[in-house]
Structure 1
């Protein structure tokens, strides 16, 4: 029995790794991919997703989402992920234009087709899910569970001093999603920076992935290695040394396996108006708001165990598959 998963992502280097992981996982069926504006503009994200889906043999609709946040101007992270989102990688042109439905519509129709079964996985800004909730406010009760990569709880940000990228791109959308999912049958799982930044790729990690590329000859393996080289260069320029924080795969793996981390319940909201703190995810650790917890936050990550699992799954995923482009 495979788990249907809808992935909403702004691909993005770590998004591409997460997609590859999911495509190769024997217990997962990717039911749809929504391209979100974020790391780069939505046209580049959509191209990345179309190419990866073809190369990985993902038999699912790939839909283009909104081109801009709900109210703010779009900011992108070309310095972090490269002008086209995948660093130094050179991608072929996709052979299809993808599913004609808008991203929000794909969310709704996929959830309705799999009531109580579909896992929602948001690895980018929340814009498309917020728009989907306008189309169908019942989405929180249709999904099996929502898993989010985003936020920073009592942790420095990676965009503003206190804000994480996926939330900071569209704070209004993130706030609306958290509000809508309050009272859902299962609380969303929030993989915030204090969890995901424990997953650090090193030179040894990159060498292992290069070995996979050398052995398999799979084009996606080469894409990931070339993309990661850019990611390492960015982190080095940002003062972290020759390494990379790889956020999205941990959230994807936990959504599928329930492993590699624990969770703790917490009431979380998003700051929208702070002059210095817009986009901050605020966790009420002391219960001052008097609200019930609305998310389960990832904690107690086992990063070495997870990285070994991830690299093995990537190797399995890239040992065969579609190489037609």
Structure 2
């Protein structure tokens, strides 16, 4: 019998976040236990509205709590140029605010961890501000979750000459991210841009989604995302950033290589990244770094198998 993972999703509900909720809802081995909102792909009120829209679309009745509208320090950077101003590609959906628990996102994360120790997984898809605030309330928070899987980070240091996609979720709140990687935990998994950028929903896969009557919403919101990424690759294709993190939570076999060790948040003066303190060949970096509990860092994935599963789940029944 397939084990069902009960998952709390912390999300800045943009296009790939919405796809992730669709994917989780379509997997027999996943149950969305609660959802919390955070700024990032859009402003926090829009993230909450988008949670409400997707849960109504799916017929999900789960606890929802609203979270941070800005990082622990500094100002919010909103990626409206990627996901549309409203986070769902500015298609024009009616998106009333959902009913919420009345707790902050951080309070909900703490309460659920204490009420269900070892039973829930926490999937973080946006800036880590809510998690950072929750750790202030309960420094042992991550020991109460079965696992914490986050979409963010940049993996180990890449071979010289290699360029990486922006590590947006970490860059949006490096202080919160540093607290997350320093916290005690059962298991913390980092699914970074080093692997998500290689997991591409290509023209064939997008065509399969467009042909499926029950994937209408998934494709209606794609155009803004495709408009952005066509300037990266010259093709109307997209990376499956957040869905890949959900896939690896449910099926670690989607990851074909891992490294484990301390993760630090580093800045070059312009941008912050979360890095495993190892070079691409497993050596320590050439500078001092902070000790931290080990994080499992994904370094390679079976992109083809994951993309096929993602398309199958979102088109199932056609």
Rounded Cα–Cα distance in structure 2 between residues aligned with 1:293 and 1:35: 27
**Which secondary structure state, in structure 2, belongs to the residue aligned with residue 283 of structure 1?**
strand
Rounded Cα–Cα distance in structure 1 between residues aligned with 2:234 and 2:71: 30
The equivalent of 1:269 in structure 2 is 264
Rounded Cα–Cα distance in structure 2 between residues aligned with 1:67 and 1:258: 32
The equivalent of 1:73 in structure 2 is 75
How many residues align? The count is 303
The equivalent of 1:32 in structure 2 is 34
User: 1:173-215 CA deviation, whole Å, 9 max, x = no partner?
Assistant: 001111113xx233x1100111111111112111111112x3x
In the alignment, does 2:210 pair up with 1:210? yes
Rounded Cα–Cα distance in structure 2 between residues aligned with 1:22 and 1:44: 21
The answer (yes or no) to whether the contact 1:10–1:42 under 8 Å persists in 2 is yes
Rounded Cα–Cα distance in structure 1 between residues aligned with 2:138 and 2:147: 16
Question: What is the TM-score of this pair, normalised by structure 2?
Answer: 0.89
Correspondent of 2:24 among 17, 22, 25: 22
Q: How does 1:144-155 map to 2 (within 5 A)?
A: 144-153=146-155, 154-155=157-158
Deviates more, 1:121-130 or 1:135-144: 135-144
The equivalent of 1:280 in structure 2 is 273
Q: Which runs of no fewer than 5 residues in structure 2 stay unpaired?
A: none
In the alignment, does 2:165 pair up with 1:158? yes
In the alignment, does 2:193 pair up with 1:193? yes
Question: What is the TM-score of this pair, normalised by structure 1?
Answer: 0.88
In the alignment, does 2:228 pair up with 1:234? yes
The equivalent of 1:2 in structure 2 is 4
The alignment's C-alpha RMSD in Å is 1.9
Rounded Cα–Cα distance in structure 1 between residues aligned with 2:176 and 2:292: 21
Q: Which runs of no fewer than 5 residues in structure 1 stay unpaired?
A: 321-325
Q: Which has the higher contact order (CA 8 A, sep 6+)?
A: 1
Q: How does 1:58-69 map to 2 (within 5 A)?
A: 58-69=60-71
The answer (yes or no) to whether the contact 2:16–2:242 under 8 Å persists in 1 is yes
The alpha-carbon deviation at position 282 of structure 1 amounts to: 2.8
| Structure with the higher fraction of residues in strand conformation | 2
The alpha-carbon deviation at position 95 of structure 1 amounts to: 7.1
